[in-house]
Structure 1
Amino acid sequence: MAGRSSTPLFGARLSAGYSQEKLAAKLGVERSTVGRWERGVQSPQPWQRRALAAALQVSLDELDDLLHRTLRPSSLSLQDKPDGTLLVTGPAVSWQPPEDGESSIAPDLDVIHAAIPRLRRALDSLDLPDDGPTRSLADLRLDIVRASDDRLQSRYVDLARRLPSLIPEIARAGQLGDAIGRRQAASLLTLALRAADGVAFKFGYLDLSARLIDLMRSAAQVAEDPLLQATVAYVRTEAFFATGDLDTAARALDLAADQVPTRGALSATAAAALGALHMRAAVVAGRAGKADAASDHLREARRAAHAVSEGVYRGTAFGPSSLRIHELAVAVELRDPRGVQRAADWAPPPELPAERRSHYYIDLARAQLDLGHRQDAYVCLQAARRAAPEHARTHPQVRQSLSALLRTHSAPSSGLLDLAAWARAR
Structure 2
Amino acid sequence: MASSLENKRISPENAEAAHLLRQVFDQALKAVDPLLAVPPFLPPEPAGRTVVVGAGKAAARMAEAVERHWQGPLSGTVVTRYGHGADCRKIKVIEAGHPVPDSAGALAAEEILSAVQGLGKDDLVLCLMSGGGSALLTRPAAGISLEEKRAINRALLNSGAPIQEMNCVRRHLSAIKGGGLLAACGAARVVTLVISDVPGDDPAVVASGPTVPDDTTPADALAILKRYRIEPPASVLAHLTANTESRRPKPAPGTVHVIATAQQALEAAADAARTLGITPLILSDRMEGEAREVGKVHAAIALQIRNHAQPVAAPALILSGGETTVTVHNSAGRGGRNQEFLLSLAIALDGADGIHALACDTDGIDGSEEVAGAMLHPETLAMARMAGLDPKQQLAMNDAYTLFAATDTLIETGPTRTNVNDLRALLVL
TM-score (norm 1): 0.32
Q: Per residue, is there more helix in 1 or in 2?
A: 1
Q: Per residue, is there more strand in 1 or in 2?
A: 2
Could you say which structure has the greater relative contact order, defined with CA pairs below 8 angstroms and 6 or more residues apart?
Answer: 2
TM-score (norm 2): 0.32
